[in-house]
Structure 1
Amino acid sequence: MLEIKCQDISVRCCSAVLENGVRTLSADQERALDIIIRTFENQVKDVETQITSDTDRFHTTLCRLNIQMFHMYKNPTVSNSGSLARLLATACTVIDTVAELGKKQGSLPATPLHLFSSLMLATFTLLRILKSTVSRDLDAERAKTSLFLGINLAKQISTDTNDGAAKCVTILNQLWNSSKAFKKPDGTDAPLRIRSRLLLSPVLDAVWWWRDEFDAQYKAFMPSHNEPSDGNVLFNDARLLPQLTSESGADPSRDNPGVSSHNHSTILSERQEPLHLDDQFLANFEWSLGDDGLFAPTEPYGAMWPSTTNII
């Protein structure tokens, strides 16, 4: 019953945010968004009084993450470090909770899909926050520790080099080491370019940033809007799973026992298969292969709504 209540709060919050607008937010719309987020956060507090187990606490924390996620829809030029600080803390808690649940169950490869999706939502959120200029005003060390833990958990969940968890690990690793990710050409923070997927938009937006930088030829493999997909889109990046390094070049596992103790300063020496993001991987995120809903890096922030092809 508590989980259903949390789901209901998340759905109603999404509906309210969508009605307020998600593509281009004016100052009044951003203030309205703050009110919406506070209203539904208070509803989560009410549900938290009914917590009776660690699983209940996970559902309420995830619900809070779902709500706070909409702070990322704001104009990045507007200072909102306070909002992002709360979002950062919630994302870290979600990752820590998944790690604890994994220890109790003792079988991370058997992690349910909704738990894995929650882990990725929190991990990609931390990645984007850490890549932003506002991260210097936040608890970056805690965020890094949780980011590395989230990546390591995804590695443990993965059972094959080409499954969804392994692909997410690749994307997270390469974007972490990227100097271009989530940045405009002038070096300032870029807004979300995918805004039609509500709670999952930050995850899908990160995947698009990865495709832009690490597979410049991906469009050559994309089916046209008038042709059916062959269900197997190839990405020609043979450097699968590059090793994770911190910005300082230090080994993140040294101070974080939750991270694998591999040498993170070097790239894997063994040959890896090219990374495939096929229809099934994208379908897990309810995402079509078309790019009509993409907010181009050079497109003005005040652009019109994208084609509705990928919004439904």
Structure 2
Amino acid sequence: MTTVAFLGLGVMGYPMAGHLAGAGHTVRVYNRTASRAQQWLADYPGESFATPAEAARGAEVVFACVGNDNDLREVVAGEQGAFAGMDRGALFVDHTTASADVARELAAAGAEKGIGFLDAPVSGGQAGAEKGALTVMVGGAETDFERARPLIDCFARAANLLGPVGSGQLCKMVNQVCIAGLVQGLAEGLHFAKAAGLDAEQVIEVISKGAAQSWQMENRYKTMLAGEYEHGFAVDWMRKDLSIVLDEAQRNGALLPVTALVDQFYSEVQALGGGCWDTSSLLARLTNVRSFD
């Protein structure tokens, strides 16, 4: 069994760290809000620490799943950051959805200390984390990936190495581009079905057996029709992710007109007070579209 550290016990990190503990690994945890770490210890075996450096000390692999680039820098760098406590030869695996730039920046800083680095954002949401069925997109050295893979498999159903550091984050950007377009299309389809006087549930029953089928359709249409938007990834976080995507597109020259438009639609959902609603709440914008005329 491996001694690991897990930094960040949010809705994703909490169950991910739990799966590592459940597999028999020794898990050392850190969370900015200490009470959250104490709650985790009530559910799983392990030990909590006051700083990332303390949690990382003696760990062979350190995982992180925090909010954004600045949160990641905060738990990695400085006197109390994870790198300060990690031994030469240890490995840092970052599951945060962040920029490719920060991944490369921290990988370079880790290399100076003899620490390996993988950027490994995930897809599957809270439900996927709880079920241990996440998809993990990884950038980094193949030797580091093979070393981390048995641990990642504790909470993932699929993990793929896409290329050098930064590739995992770039792949996650593709993931978010595709989801944004799918959810907008589903919202418009449901909106159109209702406006046309169709039974939207019957419509989905038919078209979900054909080429229009998607995970979003099968898992979100009922709650969308019910106006329930408390079932997944929040709009505020999606806008954070799309801002990363659009910034990267400006650099690499990719044209993302639909993504930019859906990002604007999500800003309108925020204006409706839906920043904490899940991303399927694009339908709420359509039913309130006069607010934006």
Higher relative contact order (CA 8 A, sep 6+): 1
* Structure of higher CA gyration radius: 2
**Normalised TM-score (structure 2):** 0.31
